[in-house]
Structure 1
């Protein structure tokens, strides 16, 4: 079962929102200023209309009426112009903030340890990069600016009502308890509801992705009903989550609509009564009613976008949650024996480049260690093969040596420094994991090779391709190194794609490689070529080869036999065969020999 990535809490979301505001004080002030000016311009017309009604009741001259009408038209035009520029300022600010959010999210995703992504599965991460980013985009582009506009407009309308007459402000206050109670009820339930809705959508994505990727296996094992049942269950959970948030809206929106009507009706009724009593003038009642009517639009906008803000808040919490969670290390964190500290300058200059594991333990699930106190110290320049039955812990130990996982206890070091304390960029200058998996990114062939060293020139790129015997076919591409490859680009064969991955390693130049049967699933003819390419990459480096087939162990300098999460034998091939232990039995079984 995949473990969902963490979700930021409300305090973290609010703190990050405040950080975004502090980054753009001038742009925010300009947008708010323009919205305030537009709101102020819109407040003049009701007051002038109230004066016009009052003047007509007293018999003012037609020239006065014309002058007031022209003033109203002028302020309406001024408001339209100010609204246009206010929206432009808000849109620019929103796009700038959204760009920063996307860039920071990409940084967080790329900083995730591979083990974290593997435990979480692809569905949750894909949902966050697609649905949550899209939801947050809508919130930043529309909900936040519209909410700011609504808040500013409400503040100015309330101020205008007070200036018309404090007594005429009272009818509008009747809506406050209704709106307060409805909003409070909604906000207590909506955030968790939208988080559950997004999490359920992640489950659907994860299940569909898994079904598509494993479609051949599903068909071969006749597991279609089981996969359909999984998808149906995910959809039912998603339906229940969406139905819950829909129920919240069906309660909240009618309550809000009632709150809009109350101020207008109450102002007309009470204002008319107070006019008859002589407490207010007809012009004041007219202006107050128009202002109460003007409150409807910003309050409606505020409460309508409040729902969108909840969706965006839930999405932001999920995006901020994509941080760099630590490996499961137990209550006290990774522990292990003290290791000698080597100065960084000495390590990088080649004085001591040894990768070593000391008494390491690791568990994918708490309380179930798959490695039990393993110590393994490959010598610089040595080719060391790890063999053993499936599930013995070979790949797990290899991933610890490559820095993909951090040990639950014990330590894995390079140049005397713990791997889990090194920045990722520095770690990959020391050690890299090579698997059957490879990826061709959308872009030129040159960019695909040079991505590990963006400052590499054409000569360095061509040298790396030459080292893995890939330059001939690279030059034969339609545009040579400038040929666009990847999805939608020039297709590369699996062998070419893996040679491309090996060329990246040559350019990255780590001193230690951990191989997890990098060519085992390639066609035999392509595998022979890839073996030659791989030999060029391995030359002069320390190599830890996870050997699922024993022919890889025969030529190694030493062989480590892993059984039950422990190293039970360690030594050269000939010595282990002669010893007649577990490795000798594996060797005879692989050759079909009998004792």
Structure 2
């Protein structure tokens, strides 16, 4: 049975969907050490309280052993009343301290879990925007939901219970050896069986649980992408392909589920055998030692009872150790965000002006496959530039490089002569902002959604920002105005209204350079045109780079850059490019019919 192999498929087939790293042992151990140090006082108190509870639980076996020894020695009137009184006191002390152990353990687990969640959230939010954009939806969802859920049980129960069980087992073994050193040999009889099975199990379990977690992330990714792109899938009749992909992902995941279940089916019977061997060893060896006169009947009784008590903490250790194997994989996935290279930039790097420039920029999402090929572009302060071209030409990619979301593979993007990729994320966001088609409305009051852009903004400024994006009327019509609850569970807003909220945030943030990636695409053409004219008044004097499919945006721009096959093929004003009769002129004629 031990020769059974894991599923015969390459776990890398599921890992390719994971874009965020999984932490190595060094990083995980460093984080566990850091977390332990934060809560060292709570751990110390838990160990102390647990030690008292365990010592109190040992009073009963010692009292019973002494009572039996008195009878064996011919004592006709053993001190039964005194024994019962001591036992009652010990039982009461044990009950009080066991309650304290459970309470202290639960509090410690909740605090560690809260720290873990906060650490992950803080680090995830601080990741470079390009890393987050490239991160798979399924992987992020699996880490935030499934991995945190798995760790919740480990932090709340496994870690405190493991600390309790280790102290418990250590004190019991010490008590057995103290009672009668020969009995220590009986405990050792069962150790080889347990060690062999545990070594076999723990050599295989980490890789199995890691592949199981990666498989689940792949399933979540495939399902999330299918749901998000449901209409596109139906339009292109891709249902069968997506179902096939989902079936394959589920098959790979369940294969690893079966494998890890089989590992546990070997471990758990071995634990039961270990328990039986301990009790048998104590009774057989202890009985022989008693017959040989090496120990007394009272010592045998006490040792047998302590050995029986040892079964529970050892079982707890092995049971929670198995749980911690699952938790270790989830912890490695959560802590993995720490291994993302921190391109926080140089805090001393300050732009010397507002001119935005790209110099022979090359960039690709995959190694060996560039999307942009040696693009150079100068955007003087206050320029309104439009990027136009066919779909897939690289317009949005270029916009993200100019906004500092991505760093070029070759070449440089500079702002005021300073490398954009070298600045801190905070400084880049103060200078340049990107608004695209994806807008999020956070759960809570509309006011809080707007204050995300500038926390110190007064209500008058919020209303001015809403008015600038033509959202003032519908916000005033809400039941509680700015205090109206929006988002999931609150008032639903249309995609167009969500877009207006995002643009209002942009007005409040007040950056001097904006990259608008079809920022008004969710509005109907007439409303979008009206909004763009309103925004133009607000954005007067700012540098605006608009990525547009509606060519009236290009018509109003100072400069138009035509992007084709990852290169800028034409550059000039609307009139100049129409007169040139090139690619832009063809697009203009096609758009106008």
Fold shared by both chains (TM-score > 0.5): yes
Superposed displacement of residue 322, structure 1: 2.5
Superposed displacement of residue 285, structure 1: 0.5
Question: Do the aligned residues in 2 keep the contact of 1:50 with 1:283 (CA within 8 Å)?
Answer: yes
Listed as ranges, the matches of 1:156-167 within 5 Å are 156-167=171-182
Question: Do the aligned residues in 1 keep the contact of 2:349 with 2:422 (CA within 8 Å)?
Answer: no
Superposed displacement of residue 466, structure 1: 2.8
> 1:401 and 2:402 equivalent?
yes
Q: What residue number does 1:153 align with? A: 168
Tell me how far apart the structure 2 counterparts of residues 5 and 76 of structure 1 sit (CA, whole Å). 52
Q: Secondary structure at the match of 2:364?
A: strand
Tell me how far apart the structure 2 counterparts of residues 62 and 89 of structure 1 sit (CA, whole Å). 43
Listed as ranges, the matches of 1:421-432 within 5 Å are 421-432=422-433
Q: What residue number does 2:509 align with? A: 508
Tell me how far apart the structure 1 counterparts of residues 324 and 349 of structure 2 sit (CA, whole Å). 48
Q: What residue number does 2:110 align with? A: 95
Tell me how far apart the structure 1 counterparts of residues 436 and 187 of structure 2 sit (CA, whole Å). 69
Superposed displacement of residue 564, structure 1: 1.9
Alignment CA distance shift 1:61-1:531 (3 Å): farther
Tell me how far apart the structure 1 counterparts of residues 41 and 460 of structure 2 sit (CA, whole Å). 47
Question: Do the aligned residues in 2 keep the contact of 1:360 with 1:408 (CA within 8 Å)?
Answer: yes
Q: What residue number does 2:6 align with? A: none
Tell me how far apart the structure 2 counterparts of residues 58 and 359 of structure 1 sit (CA, whole Å). 98
Listed as ranges, the matches of 1:146-545 within 5 Å are 146-323=161-338, 325-326=340-341, 347=351, 352-545=353-546
Tell me how far apart the structure 2 counterparts of residues 153 and 130 of structure 1 sit (CA, whole Å). 34
- 1:290-318 Cα shifts (integer Å, max 9, x gaps): 11111100000000111110111110000
Q: What residue number does 1:338 align with? A: none
Q: What residue number does 2:5 align with? A: none
Superposed displacement of residue 43, structure 1: 1.6
Q: Secondary structure at the match of 1:166?
A: coil
Superposed displacement of residue 22, structure 1: 0.9
Superposed displacement of residue 155, structure 1: 0.7
531-540 or 411-420, which deviates more: 531-540
Q: What residue number does 1:115 align with? A: 130
Tell me how far apart the structure 1 counterparts of residues 76 and 514 of structure 2 sit (CA, whole Å). 94
Alignment CA distance shift 1:314-1:160 (3 Å): same
Q: Secondary structure at the match of 1:548?
A: coil
Alignment CA distance shift 1:591-1:479 (3 Å): closer
575-584 or 50-59, which deviates more: 575-584
Tell me how far apart the structure 2 counterparts of residues 45 and 533 of structure 1 sit (CA, whole Å). 84
- 1:109-130 Cα shifts (integer Å, max 9, x gaps): 2223343334332111001111
Alignment CA distance shift 1:296-1:446 (3 Å): same
Q: What residue number does 1:337 align with? A: none
Q: Secondary structure at the match of 2:261?
A: helix
Question: Do the aligned residues in 2 keep the contact of 1:3 with 1:119 (CA within 8 Å)?
Answer: no
Superposed displacement of residue 342, structure 1: 12
Alignment CA distance shift 1:235-1:344 (3 Å): closer
Tell me how far apart the structure 2 counterparts of residues 192 and 274 of structure 1 sit (CA, whole Å). 45
Alignment CA distance shift 1:459-1:550 (3 Å): closer
Tell me how far apart the structure 2 counterparts of residues 411 and 270 of structure 1 sit (CA, whole Å). 78
Alignment CA distance shift 1:73-1:536 (3 Å): farther
Question: Do the aligned residues in 2 keep the contact of 1:4 with 1:120 (CA within 8 Å)?
Answer: yes
Question: Do the aligned residues in 2 keep the contact of 1:361 with 1:410 (CA within 8 Å)?
Answer: yes
Alignment CA distance shift 1:221-1:372 (3 Å): closer
Q: What residue number does 1:64 align with? A: 79
Question: Do the aligned residues in 2 keep the contact of 1:468 with 1:532 (CA within 8 Å)?
Answer: no
Tell me how far apart the structure 2 counterparts of residues 89 and 281 of structure 1 sit (CA, whole Å). 39
Alignment CA distance shift 1:379-1:102 (3 Å): same
Question: Do the aligned residues in 2 keep the contact of 1:445 with 1:485 (CA within 8 Å)?
Answer: yes
Superposed displacement of residue 568, structure 1: 2.2
Q: What residue number does 2:12 align with? A: none
Q: Alignment RMSD, CA only? A: 2.1
Question: Do the aligned residues in 2 keep the contact of 1:2 with 1:119 (CA within 8 Å)?
Answer: no
Q: Secondary structure at the match of 1:280?
A: coil
Q: Secondary structure at the match of 1:539?
A: coil
Aligned length: 577
Q: With the length of structure 2 as denominator, give the TM-score of the two structures.
A: 0.93
Q: What residue number does 2:120 align with? A: 105
Tell me how far apart the structure 2 counterparts of residues 364 and 326 of structure 1 sit (CA, whole Å). 17
Question: Do the aligned residues in 1 keep the contact of 2:439 with 2:502 (CA within 8 Å)?
Answer: yes
Q: What residue number does 2:8 align with? A: none
Structure 1's consecutive aligned runs of 4 or more residues displaced over 4 angstroms after TM superposition are 341-345
Tell me how far apart the structure 2 counterparts of residues 515 and 560 of structure 1 sit (CA, whole Å). 14
Superposed displacement of residue 9, structure 1: 1.0
Gaps of 5+ in 1: 335-340
Question: Do the aligned residues in 2 keep the contact of 1:468 with 1:536 (CA within 8 Å)?
Answer: no
Question: Do the aligned residues in 1 keep the contact of 2:169 with 2:310 (CA within 8 Å)?
Answer: yes
Question: Do the aligned residues in 1 keep the contact of 2:434 with 2:517 (CA within 8 Å)?
Answer: yes
Gaps of 5+ in 2: 1-15
Question: Do the aligned residues in 1 keep the contact of 2:496 with 2:522 (CA within 8 Å)?
Answer: no
Question: Do the aligned residues in 2 keep the contact of 1:342 with 1:417 (CA within 8 Å)?
Answer: no
Superposed displacement of residue 533, structure 1: 4.2
Superposed displacement of residue 369, structure 1: 1.1
Tell me how far apart the structure 2 counterparts of residues 533 and 300 of structure 1 sit (CA, whole Å). 70
Q: Secondary structure at the match of 2:108?
A: helix
421-430 or 230-239, which deviates more: 421-430
- 1:472-510 Cα shifts (integer Å, max 9, x gaps): 322221111111001111122222221111110111111
Question: Do the aligned residues in 2 keep the contact of 1:383 with 1:557 (CA within 8 Å)?
Answer: yes
Tell me how far apart the structure 1 counterparts of residues 408 and 496 of structure 2 sit (CA, whole Å). 34
Question: Do the aligned residues in 2 keep the contact of 1:356 with 1:413 (CA within 8 Å)?
Answer: yes
Q: What residue number does 2:70 align with? A: 55
